[in-house]
Amino acid sequence: MNIIEMHGITKNFGSTQALKQVDLELYEGEILSLLGENGAGKTTLMRVLYGMYTPDSGSMLFEGKPIRLHRPIDAIRQGICMVHQHFMLIPYFTVTENVIAGEEPAKGIFIDRKKARQQVKELIDKYHFN
């Protein structure tokens, strides 16, 4: 089963065309690697999938249903997450703080750090990270 389908994704930044009619399919249980030269559009494509960029044209399906992502929280709510390159992390944050950034569990007006650590531990266990 296709988990993610991207069809005809095009993205321009002014006169620079970063993506031109890109198609991508990801199947359940598949691990996919995007390889290419600097400037080939790998990060741009992933940022479209994560809702950081809106494509100029094209369509996306998640589990067979059309999706339109306007911001990263839309992707997260669908179960789509992105591990950013190291410079996207906040160096003085812990691993837990970087993972939960933007979706912090709350205890009143404070971050529920115990719940946050538990959520990150569950992700580590689920995906067998060290």
Question: Which three-class secondary structure string do you get for 59-86?
Answer: EEEECCEEECCCCHHHHHHHCCCCCCCH
Alpha helices by DSSP H, listed for 9-112, are: 42-49, 72-78, 95-100
Which has more pLDDT, 100 or 51?
A: 51
CB 80 within 8 A of CB 50: yes
Q: Which domains are seen in the chain, by residue range?
A: 2-78 (3.40.50.300), 86-127 (no CATH)
Please compute the mean of the pLDDT values over residues 94-99 and round it to a whole number. Answer: 86
pLDDT surpasses 70 at 87:
no
Please compute the mean of the pLDDT values over residues 90-107 and round it to a whole number. Answer: 85
SS3 assignment, position 21 = strand
Give the residue from 34, 17, 15, 18 showing the smallest Cα distance to 26: 34
Residue 19: pLDDT band (50, 70, 90) is: very high
Which has more pLDDT, 101 or 67?
A: 67
Using a pLDDT cut of 70, give the percent of the chain over it.
97
pLDDT for res 29: 86
Structure tokens at 108: 């009143």
CB 104 within 8 A of CB 98: no
pTM: 0.69
Instruction: Give the chain's end-to-end CA distance (angstroms, integer).
Output: 28
Which has more pLDDT, 95 or 48?
A: 48
pLDDT surpasses 80 at 86:
no
pLDDT surpasses 70 at 125:
yes
Distance of alpha carbon 106 from alpha carbon 123, whole angstroms:
18
Structure tokens at 120: 């990150």
Among the residue ranges 11-15, 27-31, 87-91, 98-102, the one predicted with the least confidence is 87-91
